[in-house]
Structure 1
Amino acid sequence: MRRRRGPVEDRGTTGSICRRTCDGMDGVMRSGLRSSAIWCGLAVGGFLMWSLGCRAAPVHHAVLRPATATTQGLQDQPAPEATAVQPVSPPEETAPAESAMVRLAAEQSFPALAVAESLAQLEASALAANPTLRRMQQEAAAAWDKVRYADKLPDPTLGSTFFVPPMNYEPDRQVADLQLMQMIPWLGRLKAEAQRAYFEALAAESLYHAEKLRIIGDLRAAWYRYYVLHKQMETAAAEQAQLTSLIETANARVATGAALPGDVLMAALELSSLQEQLIGYRQQVAATIAELNRLAGRDAGQPIAPPAHIDSTFPEWNLEHLKIAALESQPEVAVARLRAAAALWGVEVARLQRRPDLTFGIGWVFMDAPGAASADAGRDSLTLGVSTTLPLSRGKYEAILSEATRANLAAHASLDEVVLRLDAQLRELWTQAQASHETVELYRTTILPQAQQTFEADLQSLANNTVTFDRVVRNHRALLNLQLSYHRALGQQAITLARIRQTVGADLEPQSLAPPPSAAP
């Protein structure tokens, strides 16, 4: 065994220093070929690794898969699937006959280029083109991409060191060294981070489904408001036609002395008031069309034909069954549960932050020995190394664990908040729906028939000169206002039922949650 000597000390006269310097330069020149080969090899290896690292990976456009995991535990278990709202075609209903004056007013209010679209077509357009949905879909897909690398090891590091001039150990010299190192995190913490990323991805997907429900609910509410506005304009147009006929009758009666000129002026004033109402209706129609187009993800100025009718069927639901269905199907509940599960895994990640990380390394030391007589002089060396982190700051890791614990408690409180909010919303909406249904039935069976009979009786009495003209005008106006109230109540009922479906998180059928029949005694 030959014992290596330490570095040569620079002692002696100036002449000896110059001689040693010349010898060193001569050695460098003699080893130039080997050093050049080392440099070239390292450069080629580094370029290949850089090329592999910079190569563009194929882009995978992730498609959202259904939520298939629940948060009953922290294991990979199937989740409750957030049921998306399915388009429902409105039932067919016979539209009432329109007079020529009503059709003319409708043509003036709604452009001829308006596209006759159904509610189902608008919903399909919204699900395909709404920018908010497209953004949240990409965010959910990005969260799933994070799951793919959350449990992967960090990249290894490759380093090299060159000594210019070489480190001189007589007769050997160290020219360069090459090191490859890999850091190994605590594997339990790596697995916990992967589980947290998995539940966060499920929560992001459930948020996407919740946004779909909100978009569909807003679209249906705007569609039903559009129906009410359309009926208001139709009613105003019918009132214009009726008032025009009454004015002609009043003019004939004034000519014969059976009526006063003030009756004609009062009818003309009512006609001007109707024109003012139509101006306001047109502005509301334009705003509603813009809202429908925004939700459908297209230009706000695209015309849309108004709905001729809406479904007036009242479902046979039960409040308790609605609550149960909401807890099972509402994506917001799933989001809260999944975030609570992710926060619980966050506590595990924080607890394992105290565990050390290990780094393993292997190195190659390039040596040479120009002019050495020994055969094993200048032999390269192989090094092996391991290092570890030292989590010495106790207060730091206690703070990390406390932060994660409080975030977990906050996530569980958010779940309770969502459940209580859904309970209150369902109770309020169901009460509103029942009140709207009772109002619709009252107008349909009692108020409107009585008002129609009163007006027809007044018209007959006017022909017999037994009632005044102003009474006929007032009764006609009252009849039309009652018709408007009926359509508003019908639209409010439809809007409330749409909000109930949105809150439950499923497109319920009218008979899907009917209470079971009681057993006969």
Structure 2
Amino acid sequence: MRKTIIPIIILFVGSFSYGQRLENLIKEGLENNPEIQKIETAYKGALEKENEVDALPNTEFGFGYFASEPETRTGAQRFKLSVKQMIPWFGSITSRQNYVNSLADAKFEDIAISKRKLIASVSQEYYNLFTIRQKQEILKKNIALLKTYETMALTSVETGKATAVDVLKLQIRQNDLEQLIEVLEQQFLSGQTQMNALLNREKDKRVEVLDSLVMPASLEALSRGNLSLHPELLKYDKLYKSVEQSEILNQKEQKPMIGFGLDYVAVSERPNMNFSDNGKDIVMPMVSVSIPIFNKKYSSRTKQNKLKQKELLFDKQTRQNKLTSMLDAAINERVAAKISFDTHTKNLEKANNAEQILLKSYESGTINFNDVLDIQELQLKFQMKQVEATKSFYIQSTIINYLSN
């Protein structure tokens, strides 16, 4: 999974043509986001545990001084030194290493999940900002159109074909649209702050968005996604494997531990005695065995591991069902967005035709400015819905991208 994140970004960028700017924002987020850095640090810590479990049990050293020196045939014993090292059963250390490595593998999937979530969050925030900018541009164009109508109305007032009320209605409509632009600008600044938080940079840093997004001509070429290798599901597989390794380790820990040691006893010479072993120190190699006779805890661990595996299987199935529902919903919503976009495109074309008819009526000397406002409102409505449909299409595509392999 380590090498799949960036190719997914590039594939998605290429498929939907939203340009280099979003790709750069995503890469910046992957490099700087503190949540990802935290998870990567935790993963490194999990890997380091292998060195911790690779060690043998502590070597035991002992020292004893005889307060009352016992006399032996060869002399009085003065003090005793001992050293002992316990060694786990064959393969126990390897089993520990396999267990901690399996836990680290499961934690690695957290990195892949967090990166996918960041990509989705940055992309969705980008599309929100794009939508706001598009709406502002639409409002500006509509204001310019209303100004043209206002000029026409003023001319018609002079010729008696319109009233001052018609002019005021057009001016009020312009004021409403200008107020909407200002509201949208505040929304953009708020979204920009959220984007910068995702990228872990200054909140006021300017975010640039493209001027347009291309809606595909058809949905046939778009991938429907595949959940089989999603990291959220792979994590359950790796956790299941870690439980298997835990049970292998549990079986190893039921085996005896073998100890090797050495005792040394210092002996004083017996006075006024002359024989070959007089004052000879005692050296005694030792072997010991630690046997877990009371092994109820090990059988309990075995039962716990079996139950944990069942729990993981149920958790995986539950999560897979939820992700499948999310994927199906995103696919259907994306289709609905494409249908909505096409419908509003057709309606906008008809509204534009109606506008042309009104302009021709003006050339012939008659025009109803109430109809002008109605057509302008329809045009604005369809244009706004076009932008919302585009936003919905790309956000649903982002969700599909998050859920897909």
TM-score w.r.t. the length of structure 2 is: 0.88
> How many Å separate the matches in 1 of 2:184 and 2:272?
103
Which of 148, 163, 173 lines up with 1:245 in the alignment?
148
* TM-superposed deviation, 1:469: 0.8
Whether 1:337 and 2:261 are equivalent positions in the alignment is no
Match of 1:379 in 2: 280
Match of 1:397 in 2: 298
> How many Å separate the matches in 1 of 2:55 and 2:12?
52
* 3-state SS in 1 of match to 2:56: coil
| Structure exhibiting the larger radius of gyration computed from Cα positions | 1
Which of 318, 324, 336 lines up with 1:417 in the alignment?
318
1:166/1:156 CA distance change after superposition, 3 Å: farther
> How many Å separate the matches in 1 of 2:16 and 2:253?
66
* TM-superposed deviation, 1:232: 0.4
* TM-superposed deviation, 1:415: 2.4
Residues 170, 373 of structure 2: 8 Å contact kept? yes
> How many Å separate the matches in 2 of 1:415 and 1:93?
31
Whether 1:469 and 2:369 are equivalent positions in the alignment is yes
> How many Å separate the matches in 1 of 2:71 and 2:136?
101
Match of 2:69 in 1: 167
* 3-state SS in 2 of match to 1:193: helix
> How many Å separate the matches in 2 of 1:240 and 1:372?
124
Letter in 2 for 1:260: T
Q: Deviations over 1:56-82 (max 9, x none)?
A: xxxxxxxxxx66xxxxxxxxxxxxx76
Q: Deviations over 1:264-304 (max 9, x none)?
A: 22222212221331232112211221222222222222111
* 3-state SS in 1 of match to 2:263: strand
* TM-superposed deviation, 1:496: 1.1
Residues 454, 475 of structure 1: 8 Å contact kept? yes
> How many Å separate the matches in 1 of 2:267 and 2:377?
107
1:372/1:481 CA distance change after superposition, 3 Å: farther
1:93/1:476 CA distance change after superposition, 3 Å: farther
1:503/1:373 CA distance change after superposition, 3 Å: same
Which of 129, 134, 158 lines up with 1:226 in the alignment?
129
1:83/1:274 CA distance change after superposition, 3 Å: closer
* TM-superposed deviation, 1:465: 4.6
Residues 65, 79 of structure 2: 8 Å contact kept? yes
> How many Å separate the matches in 2 of 1:396 and 1:149?
23
Match of 2:383 in 1: 483
How high is the sequence identity, in percent, across the aligned residues?
Answer: 17
1:90/1:205 CA distance change after superposition, 3 Å: closer
Match of 1:86 in 2: 9
Q: Deviations over 1:186-233 (max 9, x none)?
A: 334443332222222211112211211111111111112211111001
1:89/1:503 CA distance change after superposition, 3 Å: closer
> How many Å separate the matches in 1 of 2:261 and 2:15?
75
* TM-superposed deviation, 1:427: 1.3
Match of 1:51 in 2: none
Q: Deviations over 1:233-273 (max 9, x none)?
A: 11111122222332333233334432222222222221222
Letter in 2 for 1:156: N
Whether 1:347 and 2:270 are equivalent positions in the alignment is no
Letter in 1 for 2:75: D
Q: After the TM superposition, which residues 276-291 of structure 1 pair with which residues of structure 2 at under 5 Å, given as runs?
A: 276-291=179-194
> How many Å separate the matches in 1 of 2:99 and 2:15?
49
1:178/1:307 CA distance change after superposition, 3 Å: farther
> How many Å separate the matches in 1 of 2:380 and 2:319?
43
Whether 1:316 and 2:221 are equivalent positions in the alignment is yes
Whether 1:299 and 2:202 are equivalent positions in the alignment is yes
* 3-state SS in 2 of match to 1:118: helix
Match of 1:426 in 2: 327
Letter in 1 for 2:400: I
Q: Deviations over 1:304-340 (max 9, x none)?
A: 1222222423461464xx33xx21x322222111111
Residues 350, 404 of structure 1: 8 Å contact kept? no
1:307/1:296 CA distance change after superposition, 3 Å: same
Q: Deviations over 1:100-156 (max 9, x none)?
A: xxxxxxxxxxxxxxxx97111111111211111111112222222223443x24243
> How many Å separate the matches in 2 of 1:454 and 1:147?
74
> How many Å separate the matches in 1 of 2:208 and 2:46?
40
* TM-superposed deviation, 1:167: 3.1
Residues 181, 362 of structure 1: 8 Å contact kept? yes
Whether 1:275 and 2:175 are equivalent positions in the alignment is no
Residues 5, 115 of structure 2: 8 Å contact kept? no
Letter in 2 for 1:267: L
> How many Å separate the matches in 2 of 1:88 and 1:290?
27
User: CA-atom RMSD, angstroms?
Assistant: 2.9
Match of 1:200 in 2: 103
Q: Deviations over 1:376-405 (max 9, x none)?
A: 333222233344444344543333222222
| Structure with more helix by fraction | 2
Letter in 1 for 2:234: A
> How many Å separate the matches in 1 of 2:251 and 2:103?
19
Match of 1:129 in 2: 32
Whether 1:266 and 2:169 are equivalent positions in the alignment is yes
Residues 75, 267 of structure 2: 8 Å contact kept? yes
Unaligned ranges ≥5, structure 1: 1-65, 68-80, 95-115, 506-521
